[in-house]
Amino acid sequence: ATGATGSRIIIWWPEFLGILSFVLSLICSGHAVLKKRDPRSATGWVGVLWLAPILGAILYLLFGINRVRRSATATGTLAKSD
């Protein structure tokens, strides 16, 4: 039974990887379009996400989300601009 499961994984991994990369790109690009203030930034991230789906998603999660602003907003220490 274990051998059959292993061979199924080997056969279906390209489809799984394709679906995973599509879903990651879709979620991250939706987040970029909705949360980025600068349209050029959002467009750039969407381009990276769709041209290099898995690597782009990792880069977006590491560098694209502004955690400092989110943390400051949550604690109420965000400076108000005039």
Q: Could you report the per-residue pLDDT of 2-18, keeping only the tens digit for each?
A: 567 777 778 888 899 99
Query: What pLDDT is attached to residue 20?
Result: 93
pTM (two decimals)? 0.69
Query: What pLDDT is attached to residue 61?
Result: 92
Would you put residue 56 in left (φ > 0), alpha (ψ -120 to 50) or beta?
A: alpha
Query: What pLDDT is attached to residue 3?
Result: 64
